[in-house]
């Protein structure tokens, strides 16, 4: 399969006889359907060539070669069946009956016709459209298969041989082994954990200068806290066997930073690791931001680490090339993704095939509720939620909606995942099949979930446009003003930055641009980095629907009292005004109030998120027992557990929120202090979008920045800075 893509591709993957001869061992092969080699000879009634071909395959595959027949009552198929039966008798090659199955049930025939029209861009009324006239391509019963051959004497044996093939097939995947890529350390014979520990300790010493810059209080106590946390994480990483993983990620991130490729400050729960911070994987101080290592890696329920990395969109491919060269092109591939037909697309596609106007199709598609928290509603749910859609489906839209429901969820196309990369400890073809994309890059034939199931380790290389904008702004600032800005030293309490955010001047500010979040930011009036972290966690459907935003704003501004069910909650919830906003707070409360380890607390957090009744019952008993042991009244302990369970539905990953809030802070700071350079950089990287360009021009006018017309003597391919003008 891999070779068919990499060496035999011509419009489609192809396998020749030479390749079959090389890899014939262990393969069962059938002569094929009406599109096969044998069929072409049967159609020409060339018995000599057909016999020669069958003898060749029988010699090559021995008793693993079968002559294939199918129960279609059409001329070409009947010819092929007769030829196959004759060769089977003469050459002693077994026959096998196969079910040419394109859909499950016989009444899905029309839906299949519609699907073919979608893929070929035709309407159902087009007489020249591709179609399988007279063919029943559903999953047939044994009786239907038998009758399909019209009582031919060879039919029973051919049908039974399908079971024979099934019994010969014996393949299993080992899902218990992880094929962790091997970090390649030049001229270093030490263990991976020793190498990682040394790099982390040295890295922390360098980080301490930055930590001091942002921490008004720093002394021996604080330094001990950081050193102790680092050693604890090193110990846990070593115990879990993930030192190599950290070294690999650190290596390509540091390479990117040292080779002019901007890298984001972090993403996801990895920002909770001090080792990651020390190794320069992340740029977030986990202790200062109250982030937990166990939210990232739980020593009590070990799973593979997952560090997602944002790169400048212009530099992502450079990093991928570096990794490929370092670990070998055979060991590295991007990951496939398979796009499926979602509800709205299914409605529009089916409507086009049925000849329904675009305007009408779009009107109906818009009745499907918008995705919630990244999940699309299937049509079955949409019909329950939207009465107008349900009424349409019962009346004039019955055919459209029924067909759309049948086609919804089908794979529409394959492509390369925007971020997923797999690095193996051996050539990947030993573990999974590969294909080649249009740019000749190796891509797995498995999707992300199956890549992980067979034990391979995936890495996410994401492209983030904002990093490119920041990089360009820093270049312009240094070029025009001679100021070199260190992003690590941007003050987190800069008054001018928060004034800009409170004014609603957020065009170009990462994650804070939309009208809804701009309005919320204006009302919340952030004055510290913690408020930015909270804004990104609050502006989501769950907290918005639950009224958490209003409570947070009112409590911050003293319009609503802040209260705690127990004094031990104060240290954990004080910076969010008594509201459980983050998943990490659930974990901290479990530790403080019921004596959970952070590993146990992470299991509790996941259980609350999944709401499995049996698990929740066990966790409640465990929590109450632990709380009572800490002299907390049983009734109050139940109240606290209820409080945690309620807010766990809305809790957000504080690590991710803090990491992205850092990018928000950086863009807001640059816009507040260097508006001309920032807007020039933003416009350069959005110049291909006319709507955004118009929006940015209006933003410049609002901020009294003149955008000069093109000048043959001064203009470049980018927006540039000329004094106080762009």
- Nearest to 407, CA basis, from 13, 119, 5, 19: 119
Which tokens belong to 407? Answer: 């086609």
* Residues 43 and 90 occupy one common structural domain: yes
Is 502 part of a structural domain of the chain? no
**Comparison of pLDDT for 610 and 352, the residue scoring more:** 352
Residue at 549 is within a domain: no
User: What is the per-residue pLDDT for 672?
Assistant: 97
Transcribe 353-372 into DSSP letters.
HHT--HHHHHHHHTTSPPPB
* One domain, residues 199 and 320: yes
Residues 322 and 431 in one domain: yes
Looking at residue 15, its pLDDT comes to 86
> Of all helices (H) and strands (E), which one includes residue 442?
strand 442-447
352 and 221 together in one domain: no
The domain that contains 73 carries what CATH number? 3.20.20.140
Contacts of 505 (CB under 8 A, 6+ apart): 671, 702, 703
Per the structure, how many domains does the chain have?
3
Q: Is residue 332 in some structural domain?
A: yes
Same domain as 321, residue 426: yes
On whether both 331 and 447 belong to a single domain, the answer is yes
> Distance between CA atoms of 689 and 528, rounded to whole angstroms?
33
For tokens 């928290």, name the residue. Answer: 373
Q: Are residues 421 and 452 in the same domain?
A: yes
Q: Does residue 68 lie within any of the structural domains?
A: yes
Angle, in degrees to the nearest 10, between helices 613-629 and 583-594: 50
For residue 28, the model assigns a pLDDT of: 94
Domain end marker among 415, 447, 472: 415
**275 within a domain of the structure (yes/no):** yes
Domain at 366, CATH number: 1.10.10.1600
Query: Do residues 222 and 346 both lie within one domain?
Result: no
Mean per-residue pLDDT, 357-364: 94
pLDDT bracket for residue 374 (50, 70, 90): low
Residue where one domain finishes, among candidates 464, 480, 499:
464
pLDDT single digits (tens) 666-677: 999 999 999 999
Q: Which domain holds residue 74?
A: 2-101+140-168
Query: What does the pLDDT read at residue 726?
Result: 79
Summarised one tens digit per residue, pLDDT across range 454-496 is: 999 999 999 999 999 999 999 999 999 999 999 999 999 999 9
Contact at 8 Å (CB) between 262 and 467?
yes
- Is 641 domain-assigned? no
Is the residue at 58 inside a domain? yes
Indicate if 326 and 199 belong to the same structural domain: yes
Same domain membership, residue 395 and residue 360: yes
CA–CA separation, 71 and 682 (whole Å): 63
68 and 201 co-located in one domain: no
Taking only the tens place, the pLDDT of each residue in 638-661 is: 999 999 998 988 899 999 999 999
Q: Which residue has the higher pLDDT, 204 or 185?
A: 204
pTM for the structure as a whole: 0.86
Quickly tell me which residue has 């006319």 as its tokens.
690
SS3 category, 417 = strand
* pLDDT for residue 373: 61
Same-domain check for residues 393 and 316: no
Q: Is the dihedral of CA 294, 299, 301, 306 positive or negative?
A: positive
- In a domain, residue 661? The reply is no
């Amino acid at each position: 399969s891999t070779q068919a893509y990499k060496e035999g591709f011509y419009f489609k993957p192809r396998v020749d006889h030479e390749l079959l001869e090389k890899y014939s061992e262990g393969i069962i092969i059938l002569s094929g359907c009406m599109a096969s080699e044998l069929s072409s000879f049967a159609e020409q009634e060339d018995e000599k060539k057909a016999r020669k071909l069958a003898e060749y395959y029988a010699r090559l595959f021995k008793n693993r070669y079968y002559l294939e027949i199918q129960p279609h009552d059409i001329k070409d198929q009947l010819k092929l069946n007769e030829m196959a039966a004759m060769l089977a008798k003469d050459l002693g090659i077994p026959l096998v009956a196969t079910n040419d199955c394109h859909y499950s049930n016989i009444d899905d025939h029309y839906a299949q016709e519609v699907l073919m029209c979608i893929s070929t861009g035709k309407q159902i009324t087009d007489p020249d459209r591709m179609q399988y006239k007279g063919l029943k391509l559903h999953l047939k019963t044994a009786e239907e298969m038998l009758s399909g051959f019209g009582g031919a004497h060879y039919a029973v044996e051919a049908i039974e041989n399908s079971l024979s093939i099934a019994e010969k097939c014996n393949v299993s995947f080992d899902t218990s082994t992880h094929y962790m890529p091997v970090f390649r350390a030049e001229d270093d014979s030490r263990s991976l954990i020793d190498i990682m520990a040394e790099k982390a300790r040295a890295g922390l010493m360098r980080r301490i200068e930055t930590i001091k810059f942002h921490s008004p209080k720093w002394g021996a106590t604080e330094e001990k806290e950081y050193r102790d946390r680092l050693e604890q994480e090193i110990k846990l990483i070593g115990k879990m066997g993930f030192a190599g993983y950290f070294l690999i990620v650190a290596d390509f991130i540091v390479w990117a930073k040292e080779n002019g490729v901007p890298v984001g400050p972090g993403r996801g729960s990895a920002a909770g690791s001090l080792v990651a911070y020390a190794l320069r994987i992340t740029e977030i101080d986990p202790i200062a931001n109250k982030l937990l290592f166990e939210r990232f890696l739980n020593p009590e329920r070990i799973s593979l680490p997952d560090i997602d990395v944002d790169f400048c969109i212009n530099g992502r491919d450079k990093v991928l090339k570096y990794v490929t060269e370092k670990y070998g092109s055979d060991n590295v591939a991007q990951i496939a993704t398979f796009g499926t037909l979602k509800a709205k697309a299914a409605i529009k596609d089916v409507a086009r095939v049925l000849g329904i106007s675009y305007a009408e199709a779009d009107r109906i598609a818009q009745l499907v509720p918008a995705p919630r928290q990244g999940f699309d509603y299937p049509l079955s749910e949409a019909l329950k939620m939207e009465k107008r859609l349900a009424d349409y489906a019962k009346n004039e839209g019955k055919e459209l909606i029924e067909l759309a429901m049948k086609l919804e969820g089908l794979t529409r196309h394959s492509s390369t995942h925007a971020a997923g990369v797999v690095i193996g400890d051996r050539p990947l073809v030993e573990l999974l099949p590969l294909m080649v994309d249009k740019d000749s890059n190796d891509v797995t034939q498995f999707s992300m979930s199956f890549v992980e199931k067979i034990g391979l380790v995936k890495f996410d290389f994401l492209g983030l446009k904002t990093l490119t904008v920041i990089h360009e702004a820093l270049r312009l600032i240094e070029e025009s003003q001679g100021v070199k800005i260190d992003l690590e030293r941007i003050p987190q309490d800069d008054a001018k930055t928060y004034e800009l955010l409170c004014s609603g001047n957020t065009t170009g500010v990462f994650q804070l641009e939309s009208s809804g979040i701009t309005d919320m930011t204006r009302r919340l009036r952030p004055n510290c980095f913690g408020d930015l972290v909270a804004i990104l966690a609050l502006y989501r459907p769950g907290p918005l629907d639950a009224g958490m935003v209003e409570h947070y704003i009112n409590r911050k501004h003293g319009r609503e009292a802040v209260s705690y069910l127990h004094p031990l909650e104060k240290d954990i919830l004080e910076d969010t005004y008594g509201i459980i906003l983050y998943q990490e707070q659930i974990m901290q409360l479990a530790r403080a109030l019921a004596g959970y380890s952070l590993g146990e607390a992470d299991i509790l957090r996941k259980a609350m998120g999944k709401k499995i009744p049996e698990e929740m019952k066990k966790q409640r008993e465990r929590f109450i027992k632990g709380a009572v042991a800490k002299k907390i009244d049983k009734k109050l302990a139940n109240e606290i557990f209820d409080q945690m369970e309620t807010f766990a539905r809305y809790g957000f990953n504080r690590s991710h929120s803090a990491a992205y809030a850092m990018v928000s802070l950086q863009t807001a700071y640059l816009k507040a202090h260097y508006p001309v350079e920032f807007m020039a950089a933003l416009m350069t990287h959005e110049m291909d979008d006319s709507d955004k360009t118009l929006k940015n021009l209006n933003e410049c006018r609002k901020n009294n920045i003149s955008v000069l017309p093109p000048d043959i003597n001064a203009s470049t391919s980018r927006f540039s800075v000329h004094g106080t003008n762009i």
